[in-house]
Structure formats: structure tokens, C-alpha cells
């Protein structure tokens, strides 16, 4: 299928990206799309405007009720290229004064939420897909497109919001939760029953709440925010066509609730516990299906659902996962399918609860090779099956194992205690304080615990006391807890170069993306202290620099001018472009050539920085070396250029 790369339009929006040609089309009914936005607005992000007091969020508008406006006939309709323009007219969604003061007075300035309780201002950009879709027309190709668009700008934003129609929103949320692997930032899916711009609207609250959560809270999951509650995306299902409480998470409490303040259940967050960076799995297997069992279901109906090319089927059975065992015809069809390599997953038809093999009828399914889906929603079970089957490097047994593994918090598995429930962690300091204060009420004890445990946690981290750290961790403390300066335990141990503690924290869900009140991430701290091994570890886990190119350029030029090779190496290991310039257009190579730092020049040439860049005085690095009589550097750079020319670079 040929995908059009350009479509003529008179819109003021620019094409950010066209359809991707490197991914084969799954569904022939899928409509090729472009992503539209204001490139000039995005370019402002790369200026000297500091991130210190801002969080940055990308909003992707796919369509749906939430963005509809009244057309010429007074009817609600999704009108292309109107969402951002209309948002700018609403002062509770856009602070025009702040945007003008910080980004200039033009329509290219990004959108800014008015000041709220959270520490940072949330600045956001709205991109929309062309064409906009009713969510009932959403396909697996659209899920892949959204995932790849997030990947393309992942390092530029603190969080992401996807505006979506409600009909298939839960499917999209579940699919993205599996496709976005090792996710370290919030991705929030939202929609509405009433459009944003109507006088009475749930869309406005859903939109603003989602943007605040995406920009201000460390919840590295794909979630759904609706009617003041944030649910895990793969635990969510649509429960009403008309009520504002259109979604629910039947088998799991909300991750966050927005009241007068926003309360986040940090203990419930499913964090990546791996030393791997964010990636997108951009393949899905369409050959999956849902089969609901009902009384007197025909053999032909079951057989047709299991026929090739079907590779996996989710069975929705009675109660706790029961099947009519007297239907030997159906049981044989299921047994034959599993022997052919078809993966069958059993979930309940009930809204609440899970499948359980305590009944004979449930055990009979397990005996045929059917896998328990525990308490997964139909949306989660189907999209997980599609994801698992698309893993070409997994064999049949591995795929079955993964279907029975809690990959993204999509199911509840029974966990058996070893006798230590984590609440009696042997924190002698806390126990001593409790006794000294003669505390007896549970409320008083919890108040003191909330005051003492964080101190014990931070102290254990900086002292390298892993045993005590593990004890406190088991008590349910938020591993990304921040002190008054915004530092987490990860910031602290990175500063002190404690690589063993850094590793432990990362393996237990510490986020590399959290910034302190000065805008510094753990990676920034590692770079400032030249802890090269820790820099490599943080980058391996997905950390990236969050400073503006202008600020990095100034730092690099200053480092080269002072012969600070360690600083240049630190920034190089952190992924910085060593050709960034200062406000005068001077590159680090200019500075190194001016002062005669051969070691810095060698580092910069090894990083393949351009050697012909001219500063504002029209000087190249070689000219700087010649003027200052550093002829050895002239020879070094000339030799490097000749080598690059011979290699055709």
C-alpha cells in the first residue's frame, strides 16, 4: 500500500511527521496519517529558556468527543486544526501573559497552564493527527503510530497526553502499555463525554487534570484519567455510555485521585526495575480474537474462532473461569488448538474478580492447555496476546510463560509472604522514638512514621547501608521521595559516586527523569561531578540531558577553554553534542584551539565535531589556533580533515 508523503493544505500547522514506511500495514482499512503541529513553537523549546521552573508536555490529539466544536449548523463535530486555536482563548487552559513573557507574544508560543498547586509551570504543545478519527475506526496501525510518535520526541518532554474517543480508549491504553517498553515517563490517555468547549464539560477537567499529572507527577505508566481518577491503562474498561464516570478499574484502585489536591498512590505504581532504556515494540499480531462462551454455543462457532491464521484467542468464560465440561466437542477443539500452537487465555465474563481453577470446570480448561488470564480485562488480555505473539524471538513456551507473567501490572498474581510483611521492618530508630513519645494511637504512630522513615531512608542511602535501605523499602516508601531541595535518594548517591547504591536504586524503580528545584536530574549531577561510570549506567537506563543546547554549549566552551577534559568526556558520555556553541557562536573546538589544549582537541575530533564552523567574528577553529601560534593543533586538525575526506565523510 502506497502511503502519501505530502498532502496540500492551507493550514498554518506544519507536518511534524508523515506515516512511517518502515512498519508494514497490519490492517488494510487503516487510514494513513500525518502529525500536524507548529514547528516554530517546538523550536522555541531549544532556546535559552530554562527548564528549571517548567515541565513540558506533548498532547497528541487523535480525535473524539473531547475536541469537538460547534460547526456552522450548530452541530458538534471534530473540526481539524481548531483545537489549539480554541484552547488559546480560554484563560483557565492557557496563561497568555506567562507565554508572552517567556516565549514571545505570538501564536507560535507554546500553551501554558495557569499557576496551580504543583511546583512547576506546565508548558504544553498540542499536535493533532490528520485525519482525525472517531475512535471506533481506530486500528492496531494507529496504536503503533502513536507509540512511534512518542518515541520520536521522548527526550524532549516530561510527559505525554493522548486525547482519544471513548469507545476504544481502553484498548489503546492497554496496547500502549505493552508496546512502550521500560517506560520512564507518564503517558496519559483521556477523552470525555462532553467536549472541552461546551459550557458544561467533563472534557475540560479531564484535559487539565491529565496535563497537570503528566507534567508534575512521576507515574511512569500508561494510564487513563477520567472524572478525576487516574487508572492503570491496562486495568481500565468502559462501563457507561452516558455517565461522566465512563471508565472504571474493576479489580484495582485508582493510581491517583484529583480532589482539592491530587493524591497519588505511589505504592501502587508499576515501575520499570531494569537497567534498560525506553524503547518501542512497533509490531503487533492481528491474528487474535475474543470468544465469549454462552449456553448451547455451537461447535461450528468455536471451530471458526480457532481456525488458521488465528494464533491466539481470549476465552471469556463463566464466573471464576468455568466451561461446560459436558461439551466434550468444545473441549477437544480447545485441546487440538493448543497442540497446533494456538495460545488460549481464559478470563472471566464478570466485571469483578478473577479466574480460579478451584472448580472442576475451571481445572478442565487448564488440562487442555488453556492459560489463566487471572483478572485481566478483555482489552488487556487481547492486546497483551497481540503483543506477545508479535515477539518473533520468543518461542511458543516463552510466549505462554509471558502471557502468565505480570508484564505491566495488568493482572493480580497471588504473592506469598516469607513471614516478613514489610511493615515490621525492624527499624529500631522508629521503634525507639515511638516508645519515647509513648505513642499509642495508630494515627499518631503513622504521623511519626511519615516523618521518620524518609530520614532513615535518605540516611541509609548516603551511608551505603543496603540492609537498612531494603528494610525501609519493604515498608512501602516511595522510592522517588524528594527532600526540600527536590533531591531524591538517587541524586544523593550519584553525587557521592556510590555506583553500588545507584544500581540498587535503579533496580528498585528509581526514576532517572526526576529533576530537583534547580532543574537538575541525577544525570546532570553525575556530569557535574565527572562520575563517568555512573553516567554510563544512567544513560544505559534511559537518562538523558535536560538542559537547553545554549546552556550546554556555554558549559562545553568554558570547559575547553580551561583544558577540562573530564567535563568534555562527561558530557560526551551523557549524549551531548560537543559541537554546541555559546552565544558568540564559539564551539568547544574554537576554545580549545585558542588556549592550545591538545587533549581537548583530540577528544573533540574523536567525537567528530565539525571543524569548519565559524564564530561571530568569522573565525574557524584552525584560524584560532594559527592566531595563537598553536601550530601543532593546526597540523592535528588538518590531518583529521584529510582522514575524514579520504573516508568520504
State the binding site for substrate.
135, 166-167
8 A C-beta contact, residue 525 and residue 495: yes
CA atoms of 170 and 223, how far apart (whole Å): 10
8 A C-beta contact, residue 122 and residue 57: yes
* Element of type H or E holding 237: strand 237-238
The phi and psi torsions of 190 (rounded to 5 degrees) equal -145, 165
Strands 54-61 and 159-163 come out as parallel
Among residues 84, 115, 77, which one has the least CA distance to residue 98?
Answer: 115
Is residue 398 annotated as part of the catalytic site, yes or no? no
DSSP-derived secondary structure for 546-594: -S-HHHHHHHHHHHHHTT-HHHHHHHHHTT--TT---TTS--HHHHHHH
8 A C-beta contact, residue 438 and residue 406: no
Specify the residue for cell string 498547586. 117
Cβ neighbours of residue 289 closer than 8 Å, sequence gap 6 or more: 305, 310, 312, 313, 314
8 A C-beta contact, residue 203 and residue 65: yes
Positions at the binding site: 135, 166-167
Copy the grid coordinates of residue 138: 481506530
Specify the residue for cell string 553516567. 535
Side-chain-side CA neighbours of residue 310 (13 Å): 20
8 A C-beta contact, residue 615 and residue 587: yes
Residue length of the chain: 649
Q: Which of 65, 172, 190, 317 is catalytic?
A: 65
Cβ neighbours of residue 5 closer than 8 Å, sequence gap 6 or more: 18, 19
Specify the residue for cell string 573516508. 647
8 A C-beta contact, residue 221 and residue 177: yes
Neighbours of 170 (CB within 10 A): 28
Is residue 166 annotated as part of the catalytic site, yes or no? yes
CA atoms of 127 and 157, how far apart (whole Å): 13
Neighbours of 242 (CB within 10 A): 6
Q: Which of 166, 172, 317, 377 is catalytic?
A: 166
Active-site positions?
65, 166
Amino acid at each position: 500500500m502506497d502511503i502519501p508523503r505530502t498532502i496540500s493544505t492551507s493550514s498554518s500547522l506544519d507536518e511534524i511527521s508523515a506515516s512511517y514506511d518502515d512498519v508494514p500495514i497490519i490492517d488494510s482499512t487503516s487510514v494513513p496519517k500525518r502529525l500536524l503541529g507548529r514547528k516554530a513553537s517546538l523550536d522555541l523549546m531549544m532556546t535559552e529558556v530554562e527548564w528549571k521552573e517548567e515541565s513540558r508536555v506533548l498532547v497528541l490529539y487523535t480525535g473524539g468527543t473531547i475536541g469537538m466544536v460547534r460547526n456552522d449548523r450548530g452541530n458538534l463535530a471534530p473540526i481539524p486544526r481548531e483545537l489549539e486555536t480554541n484552547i488559546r482563548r480560554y484563560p483557565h487552559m492557557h496563561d497568555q501573559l506567562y507565554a508572552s513573557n517567556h516565549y514571545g507574544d505570538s501564536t507560535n508560543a507554546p500553551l501554558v497552564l495557569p499557576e496551580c498547586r504543583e511546583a512547576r509551570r506546565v508548558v504544553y504543545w498540542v499536535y493533532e493527527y490528520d485525519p482525525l478519527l472517531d475512535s471506533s475506526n481506530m486500528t492496531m496501525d494507529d496504536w503503533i503510530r502513536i507509540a512511534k510518535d512518542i518515541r520520536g520526541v521522548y527526550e524532549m518532554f516530561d510527559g505525554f497526553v493522548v486525547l482519544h474517543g471513548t469507545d476504544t480508549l481502553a484498548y489503546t491504553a492497554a496496547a500502549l502499555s505493552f508496546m512502550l517498553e521500560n517506560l520512564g515517563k507518564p503517558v496519559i490517555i483521556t477523552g470525555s463525554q462532553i467536549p472541552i468547549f461546551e459550557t458544561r464539560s467533563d472534557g475540560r477537567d479531564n484535559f487539565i487534570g491529565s496535563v497537570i499529572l503528566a507534567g508534575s507527577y512521576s507515574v511512569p505508566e500508561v494510564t487513563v484519567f477520567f472524572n478525576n481518577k487516574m487508572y492503570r491503562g491496562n486495568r481500565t474498561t468502559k462501563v457507561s455510555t452516558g455517565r461522566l464516570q465512563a471508565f472504571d478499574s474493576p479489580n484495582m484502585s485508582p493510581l491517583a485521585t484529583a480532589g482539592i489536591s491530587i493524591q497519588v498512590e505511589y505504592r501502587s505504581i508499576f515501575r520499570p526495575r531494569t537497567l534498560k532504556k525506553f524503547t518501542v515494540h512497533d509490531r503487533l499480531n492481528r491474528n487474535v480474537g475474543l470468544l465469549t462462551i454462552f449456553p448451547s454455543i455451537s461447535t461450528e462457532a468455536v471451530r471458526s474462532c480457532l481456525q488458521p491464521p488465528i494464533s491466539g484467542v481470549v476465552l471469556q468464560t463463566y464466573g471464576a473461569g468455568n466451561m461446560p465440561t459436558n461439551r466434550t466437542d468444545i473441549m477437544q477443539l480447545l485441546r487440538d488448538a493448543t497442540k497446533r500452537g494456538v495460545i488460549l487465555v481464559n478470563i472471566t465474563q464478570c466485571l469483578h474478580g478473577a479466574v480460579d481453577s478451584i472448580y472442576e470446570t475451571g481445572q478442565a480448561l487448564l488440562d487442555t492447555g488453556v492459560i489463566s488470564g487471572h483478572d485481566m480485562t478483555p482489552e488487556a488480555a487481547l492486546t497483551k496476546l497481540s503483543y506477545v505473539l508479535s515477539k518473533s524471538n520468543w518461542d511458543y513456551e516463552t510466549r505462554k510463560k509471558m502471557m502468565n507473567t505480570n508484564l505491566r501490572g495488568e493482572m493480580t498474581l497471588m504473592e506469598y509472604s516469607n513471614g516478613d510483611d514489610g511493615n515490621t521492618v525492624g527499624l529500631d530508630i522508629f521503634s525507639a522514638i515511638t516508645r519515647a513519645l509513648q505513642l499509642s494511637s495508630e494515627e499518631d504512630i503513622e504521623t511519626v512514621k511519615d516523618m521518620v522513615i524518609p530520614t532513615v531512608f535518605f540516611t541509609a542511602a548516603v551511608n551505603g547501608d543496603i540492609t537498612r535501605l531494603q528494610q525501609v523499602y519493604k515498608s512501602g516508601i516511595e522510592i522517588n521521595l524528594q527532600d526540600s531541595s527536590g533531591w531524591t535518594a538517587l541524586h544523593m548517591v550519584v553525587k557521592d559516586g556510590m555506583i553500588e547504591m545507584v544500581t540498587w536504586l535503579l533496580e528498585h524503580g528509581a526514576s532517572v527523569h526526576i529533576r530537583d528545584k534547580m532543574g537538575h536530574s541525577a544525570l546532570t549531577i553525575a556530569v557535574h561531578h565527572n562520575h563517568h561510570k555512573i553516567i554510563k549506567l544512567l544513560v544505559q537506563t534511559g537518562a538523558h540531558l535536560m538542559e537547553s543546547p545554549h546552556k550546554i554549549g556555554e558549559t562545553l566552551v568554558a570547559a575547553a577553554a580551561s583544558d577540562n577534559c573530564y567535563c568534555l568526556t562527561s558530557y560526551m558520555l551523557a549524549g551531548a553534542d560537543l559541537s554546541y556553541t555559546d552565544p558568540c557562536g564559539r564551539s568547544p573546538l574554537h576554545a580549545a584551539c585558542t588556549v592550545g589544549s591538545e587533549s581537548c582537541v583530540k577528544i573533540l575530533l574523536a567525537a567528530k565535531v565539525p571543524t569548519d564552523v565559524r564564530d561571530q567574528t568569522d573565525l574557524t577553529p584552525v584560524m584560532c589556533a594559527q592566531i595563537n601560534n598553536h601550530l601543532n593543533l593546526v597540523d592535528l586538525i588538518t590531518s583529521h580533515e584529510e582522514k575524514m575526506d579520504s573516508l568520504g565523510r
